[in-house]
Chains A and B, each alone.
Chain A
Amino acid sequence: MEDKEKVPTIAQSGTTRRAFLKGAVAATGGAVAIASVASTAPRAAKAEEASPMSRYLFAERQNCTGCRACEYACSTYHEGTVRPAASRVHVLRHKGIVDVPVICWHCDDAPCIEACPVTPKAIKKDKETNGIILDEKTCLGARCLQCVDACPAQYLRTHPDTCMPLFCDLCGGDPQCVKACLAQSGNPQGPCLLGSKVGFGVNQAYRDVTPEEAGEDLVKRFYYPNNDGGRR
């Protein structure tokens, strides 16, 4: 498997049956496995390339494996430590069978900013990065939270310590969650989170659903003819 690009595409990441069997033969039996695994040197990590400025996030929901690497990366970047409760991206496991990435879509109409009652608005969009920035000095915090109610994707959560709403600032144009999602490479379905300079033209029907509704949609999509994800 050559690394032609950092982004694994479906075609590239397909480990062939033959390669799998070859690897697996070597990996049967503990002692043998240890010896053979240890003898293969790791591939040199590819040098980081400067990523383009991202102005929007997009979640290809059916590609999510539910590993939550995005939550780990997000909270590590924003909080300095792993704390999914304070992450700006969440993964909901719905009915135990589908995983729904819950992200900020950076809507052009931004219902959260519209709902903000203070003047001037405590929530702003950064002109350069398109990230949502909260002014914690003017935000009313737990007394208000109208933005949380306004979010059409029910994405917004509050910080467990400060009760301030948590907004996605796109990490200053280089979203860590997108990088983390890519790094879980070898995912034959490809990455789930994507970032882009231009808007994805998010179809509002795709955006304006609660995480649970999105989960139901995924259940139908994956598990046809079982439409409710229950037992048969």
Chain B
Amino acid sequence: MAAPKGGYFGKVLEIDLSKQTTNVRELNDEVARKYLGGSGLGAYYLASEYKAGKDPLDEDAFILIAPGPLNGTYCVSTRTSFINKSPYTGLLSHAEVGAHLGNEIKWAGWDGIYIKGRSAKPVWLYIQDDEVQFLDAARIWGKDTYETEEAFKKEVDNSYARTAVIGPAAENGVPYSAVIVERFRAAARTGTGMVMGNKKLKGIAVSGTKAVPVVDNAKFLPAAMEVKDFAVQREAWAGIKRWGTGGLLELKHWITGSLITKNFQTTWWPEIYNLGGEEANRSFWQRHVACNHCPVHCMKYGVVRNGKYKGLIAEGPEYETGGLLGSNLGMTDFGSMMALIEAADAYGFDAISLGGSLAFATECIEKGVLSASDLDGINLKWGDGDAYLEMIKKIAHQEGKAGKLLGKGVAAMSKEIGKGSEAWAVTTKGKEIAAHDPRGDKARGYSYAMGTCGGDHHEGSSPGGLVLLALFNSLVMCSFVGLTHTKEIPASHVAMLNPLCGWNMTGDELMAVPKRILTLERCFQVREGISSKDDVLAKRFTSEKLPEGPKKGAIWTDEDQKKMHESVYGFLGWDDKGVPTEKALEGYGLDFMIDDVKEARKQYNL
């Protein structure tokens, strides 16, 4: 149980909001080597501390904000993981977010921030190296994410502090609310915002002055520089550098046939030329912005220069935000779409679930199972940006019937509405899916159906992809840069980690880590009743063919489903019900989950 030699500080900051006390959790080298950090460390804490059926909004439920071993070192493009049991889906969930927060946590001397308890009144945390202050957030409670961030920095007079805050949506208990990091980055898809709101925690600000210990700098630096050079030189990402992910919007419309449109009814949306990268480049983008030490700078910030939303500053459109709040809502006007995207960030929403819910409600109205009178008189129509914006405000403040109904998310809404609306409720494991139609882009089906949290676009598009993404999410590294040296993985990462942490890891040992994490996460989900029956895509994809576009007639077939299950389950050592076998668990060193899995098998007949 030795302390880690390098790469980690061996300390996780434990904060109890109920008592307003802090504590230091030791992180030993063995755990670090088995789970790395980020989502891996979160899965380890969740699986070993929670029992099946734990209420994610309990007072002692926790959020872990975890960087990985590479954060704060010379390695490029590191991110931050937010891990908690999602109050939205009831499953283990992890969200990765860019910007500089994770590095600042490392420089403050922590391998993670573990937040539990519930404050009696609104509070926010200022973490300055070892010192933690609990500050009163009564005056900023209810403010949007931008104002909150500015208020934090002003109050502590530190404009270099890095923040993660929640907006009104999270305060009012919208289950798909997000944590917003540095104005425009969202740790979403996990209900982390709702948990923070439940804990009356308005946000955190971190500022650090330390350096991450490195065991052998002379070997680590060249290895990290090599990865950086690789990312700099790789032309595969030149397009992402120039056009961001927003440039993919048009491409998915006319080549891959996977641009979601009007609640997944079609993938053909010629209006995308008014919404995507080309239009943004012409009339909106002003700056390229990078996360820490990243040569890819995929973020584009801009300002709407004319029309109704003149002067609106926003980031994007990214592929997901432009897809979900653009084509999926049948938008045609660029300014209106950017207003929706900006509102999602300002009120602290998960833009994917928000777009999914709005689109679902619109189709309900279109099909006649819901009327404007059910929605406080707001008549949602495809492309009606003003109505959508009004609705977003209502959801954020949970006003009226409309705000409460749409604030539940698609799965709960379709249950409440009924009348056959299940046919167009597009969810996987209780969560809306991201902006790639799996009929046109079948590889994405893996990410949606087989990924740990369900419905995420960031979980890998093949059995090998799932493992790679799990590795990046535990390191915690951006997959844009990570995938550029796919050929060298694991060699390039072993070359960085060994001198950094003083390990003698082999490539095989490193590649066993993501498989172990995926299996541990799966054990957690199995305890909650997840099995192969849940690893499926929505009914719409298996019953409706694509009506037009380059992939006209495409449908998600039973064979696709079977192939996906067999390849992933076989690759990770799970049985055909999608439950990890005892042998596999022993092989991964997850013996502590064997009894739980046995019990779940009995309970759920697996």
Contact = CB atoms under 8 A, between A and B. Distances in A.
A1 interface: yes
A186 B232 CA distance: 8
Interface string B466-488: 00100000000000000110110
B302 to A, nearest CB: 8
Interface stretch (A50-58, A68-76, A128-136): A68-76
A118 interface: no
A121 interface: no
B512 to A, nearest CB: 19
A11 interface: no
Interface residues of B, number: 82
B441 A225 contact: no
Contacts of A82: 72-74, 211-212
Contacts of A79: 211
Interface stretch (B55-63, B142-150, B409-417, B591-599): B142-150
A202 interface: no
A72 B297 contact: no
A25 interface: yes
A229 interface: yes
A97 B233 contact: no
B486 to A, nearest CB: 5
B184 A43 contact: no
Contacts of A23: 235-239
Given A188-B241, A212-B159, A222-B286, A97 B313 contact: yes
B233 A30 contact: no
Contact of A66 (B234, B289, B460): B289
A185 interface: yes
B447 A30 contact: yes
A69 to B, nearest CB: 6
Contacts of A21: 239, 251, 255
A110 B251 CA distance: 54
B239 A81 contact: no
A68 B292 contact: yes
B107 A85 contact: yes
B243 interface: yes
A230 to B, nearest CB: 7
Interface in A11-26: 14-15, 17, 19-21, 23-26
A174 B292 CA distance: 23
A31 B313 contact: no
Contact of B483 (A26, A33, A76, A188): A33
A168 B211 CA distance: 20
A95 B460 contact: no
B208 interface: yes
A65 B289 contact: yes
B251 A14 contact: no
Contacts of B228: 183
B288 A20 contact: no
Contact of A20 (B239, B465, B487): B239
A187 interface: yes
A144 interface: no
Contact of A68 (B243, B293, B309): B293
A59 to B, nearest CB: 15
A207 interface: no
A10 to B, nearest CB: 12
A37 B312 contact: no
A76 B224 CA distance: 12
A7 B291 CA distance: 22
Interface stretch (A86-94, A145-153, A193-201): A86-94
B180 to A, nearest CB: 10
B256 A83 contact: no
Contact of B310 (A26, A45, A189, A225): A225
B158 to A, nearest CB: 11
Contacts of B441: 28-29
A81 to B, nearest CB: 5
A32 interface: yes
B580 to A, nearest CB: 23
A184 interface: yes
A225 B311 contact: yes
Contacts of B233: 42-43, 45
B492 to A, nearest CB: 11
B465 A30 contact: yes
Nearest to B309: A232
B236 A40 contact: yes
Contact of A83 (B107, B221, B309, B486): B107
A223 to B, nearest CB: 4
B603 to A, nearest CB: 34
Given A23-B239, A65-B287, A96-B149, A232 B487 contact: no
Interface in B259-293: 278, 286-293
B293 A69 contact: yes
Given A31-B464, A66-B289, A96-B146, A81 B294 contact: no
Given A65-B287, A82-B211, A94 B160 contact: no
A20 B245 CA distance: 11
A98 interface: yes
Interface string B439-454: 0011110110000000
Contacts of B149: 96
Name the 8 nearest CB pairs between A and B, nearest first: A30-B461, A96-B183, A20-B239, A67-B290, A85-B209, A83-B211, A160-B209, A226-B311
15 contacts: A20-B242, A28-B252, A28-B441, A34-B462, A37-B234, A37-B484, A62-B287, A66-B290, A95-B150, A183-B232, A184-B295, A188-B241, A211-B159, A226-B311, A231-B144
Interface of B: 72-74, 100, 107, 144, 146-147, 149-150, 159-160, 182-184, 208-212, 214, 217, 221, 228-230, 232-239, 241-243, 247-248, 251-252, 255-256, 258, 278, 286-295, 297, 301, 303, 305, 309-313, 342, 346, 441-444, 446-447, 460-462, 464-465, 468, 483-484, 486-487
